[in-house]
Structure 1
């Protein structure tokens, strides 16, 4: 049975030209053309006329528009403002619909500009993606509690402690991001979870390093001229970390200096200057050999695409039945500097790209000791090229 206020028909809604058409009870169809228009509810609230949009004609049919109008008329009769009430309900719904997964993605998007390489390598997000979101991603962030977090991450406590620590730190940032968005969250929830997880039996283990006097023998064994062999040789000769070496481009080298962009250096995100690495004659020879493998400007490409992976270098050493790992050559070099040279502490630390001294001291010290480091790296190269023969006594 048609109600007295239901003046429009579905055909009229579809066929009427541009204009305003009353359905009754304050519901209006406002068409801007034959094919486009919107629904509007007019009501008097606290002595003021209010107009509330109920959606476009293409999205909301006549029956749905009438049902929606009835709903908001009820709010008006109760003395409420339907527009403010709808906004309140949307805010409430948003709190319930902001799943942890969505907030985590929004947090990552907000901070990635401060991450190395814009976070494209995935290292920031992966602890969440692999260990938190599969279980908790669909939980509304406002409902997240410390027990959920404990049950999700405690299994990693004694086996993958660093992964757990990173996941907790990332999760804490996500929760605080949610609070900044205006969501009703417990900003202490991660700290509470840490208390529930308890102390770990995990002990930090240093990356195994090859003793400096054994390095020459290994260096000389890298004689095939493959990408892996040449990458390991240059890693040893320069003492850099794996990432800047793997992403080394031909245009990073000028003469006998390799300039590493600041965003490739650990702990130097946002630094105003790059890091210069002096190249010994031996290092330049390795680079010259590597150029025949270059692809897309990279000296050490992978077999398929991109650059050689860190895992490729590590697995090579594993296959050689060595306990030492590629990163450990930095320790080998540092020990050699300490035991076989008189290099000042600040020079030796700069060789490895470490920050030396406080912020004020660094601000006044404008040198990177490039000349002193060049001499040391030439001596280190000479050491690596000569296998030490130890005669039995």
Structure 2
């Protein structure tokens, strides 16, 4: 490969360099000095690798002497002879330093910005990033990512590993995303250190607590206590009747209602924010009655608005249950419905799952084609649930 460099070498002396005119001047073996019209000059190493002509800056003439330029060019030349791209290698070497671009905090924010579009609400609520921001970055954020090992990660997560297992699991998941992003940016990292950190932290014996839920037999009595004229309580009534998640209820809009069906857009269907999948909810007589009651309070198209006319606060229904000492949480009513379907109706598993919006199989290839929400089969079941809840069964 030696013929890729010019045969002559050390063509100039220091004195000769000073008198060279504007233009490009070869010292030999790929080392060039580019003198600009403004009087400045730049050392360049020119090389050819894998059929491509490349140029690598070695610094300004003012800051890099002829001897130093020749030394840098020789190091780069040896790399080329070994078929190593000196430009890429220099970039990798710089990543080993404490530069801001290579620190975990900087890369975490970059990864978050790239990941935002795939998150619900475009990541605007900051919930995806908060585990990193609260539990990882304060301890590891200033470290170059290439220097973070399994022990660093284990020490950072140890305080919450057993006390807050759900949050700790989210930290691990977010770190994987950041490390994968860093790897794509050609930082020398591997998610293996995250796996090893989990091994160091050990088996997490503390199980996550399921959402509190009323037994399905107790739901009608609670439903009967809810108001006909208060947005939060009307929202709870709709939540109980439909079995959907709180986010769908909070953001329920008049424009989503199509006679006897409520069309929930992908943005408010868990796991479908980045698809064109919509979830259709059949509406019974009781559903429609609640909707009519709620229309009196509608603002800016929201059926259950907050005090400023936006979507209902995500904590509103939960706070109502807590303030009134109800041993349940909004998400728990999905469990009440799901259990009723199995205990009382002996509903098919797949249809029961579809009733509460669990329409994924876990197989991406299958989910890409399986779009049915079993609306014809769900419609009579949801009407029967509404009748049970209201005491009309």
Query: Which residue of 2 is the match for residue 168 of structure 1?
Result: 172
- Equivalent residue pairs, number: 362
How far the C-alpha of 1:149 sits from its partner, in A, is 0.8
- Whether 1:375 and 2:385 are equivalent positions in the alignment is no
Question: Alpha carbons of 1:181 and 1:204: their partners in 2 closer, same or farther (altered >3 Å)?
Answer: same
Q: Deviations over 1:156-177 (max 9, x none)?
A: 1221101001111221232233
How far the C-alpha of 1:38 sits from its partner, in A, is 6.0
CA distance in 1, matches of 2:120, 2:114: 14
- Whether 1:309 and 2:309 are equivalent positions in the alignment is no
CA distance in 1, matches of 2:297, 2:269: 24
Q: Deviations over 1:116-170 (max 9, x none)?
A: 3433333332211221112111110100011111111011122110100111122
CA distance in 1, matches of 2:45, 2:192: 45
Unaligned runs of 5+ in 2: 1-13, 49-53
How far the C-alpha of 1:349 sits from its partner, in A, is 2.3
Q: Secondary structure at the match of 2:36?
A: strand
Query: Which residue of 1 is the match for residue 271 of structure 2?
Result: 267
How far the C-alpha of 1:345 sits from its partner, in A, is 3.4
Equivalent residue runs for 1:194-233 within 5 Å: 194-223=198-227, 225-233=229-237
Q: Deviations over 1:183-218 (max 9, x none)?
A: 222431111111111122302322111112221222
Equivalent residue runs for 1:237-386 within 5 Å: 237-269=241-273, 271-304=275-308, 306-355=310-359, 368-386=373-391
CA distance in 2, matches of 1:111, 1:44: 38
More deviation in 235-244 or 216-225?
Answer: 216-225
Give the TM-score normalised by structure 2: 0.77
Q: Secondary structure at the match of 1:355?
A: coil
CA distance in 1, matches of 2:117, 2:230: 36
Query: Which residue of 2 is the match for residue 75 of structure 1?
Result: 71
CA distance in 2, matches of 1:44, 1:363: 50
Contact persistence 1:246–1:300 (CA under 8 A) = yes
How far the C-alpha of 1:225 sits from its partner, in A, is 1.9
CA distance in 1, matches of 2:330, 2:266: 22
Give the TM-score normalised by structure 1: 0.77
Aligned alpha-carbon RMSD (Å) = 3.8
Query: Which residue of 2 is the match for residue 11 of structure 1?
Result: none
Unaligned runs of 5+ in 1: 9-18, 56-63, 389-393
Query: Which residue of 2 is the match for residue 60 of structure 1?
Result: none
